[in-house]
Amino acid sequence: MKPKDLMVQAEKARKASYSPYSKFAVGAALLTKSGRVVLGCNVENSSFGLACCAERTAIFKAVSEGDQEFVAIAVTAGKGHGAAPCGACRQVLHEFSPDMWVYFHDDDGGIVRKRVNALLSNGFRLHARGGKR
């Protein structure tokens, strides 16, 4: 699927955004290795710190439905609003598919294409320590 086509899906997902506090609506469309497109939007809360970004909504939906490998994600806050994924979302994407593509708008309405491991170098991985302290 072309970046532009996945971005159209992200724009659709954005319409469901619950963002009465920031008034910053974000949509994401996640392409799984199994060929599904899973949509996500940001979901805010009266307790501001509980907001969940569109990218994480999409990833958590997909994982809870059995998909753990991803090809690409498109993210948009609307054309003309550059919206690269936040650091927390980069780490969550990295957990599952460090080499997946991330598509997001630049400020001029163009689509930027980067791999997660380029957006987040040396992403954290938990290695078991064999019980030693």
Considering only residues 8-47, where is the footprint of ligand THU by CB under 6 A? 19, 22, 24, 26, 42, 44
SS3 at position 92: helix
Options 29-37, 53-61, 109-117, 125-133: segment touching ligand THU (CB under 6 A):
53-61
End-to-end CA separation in angstroms for the chain: 47
Among 29, 30, 39, 53, binds ligand THU (CB under 6 A): 53
- d(C-alpha 14, C-alpha 78), whole Å: 8
- d(C-alpha 41, C-alpha 58), whole Å: 7
Catalytic residue numbers read 55
User: Which residues would be at the binding site for ligand THU (CB under 6 A)?
Assistant: 19, 22, 24, 26, 42, 44, 51, 53-55, 85-86, 89
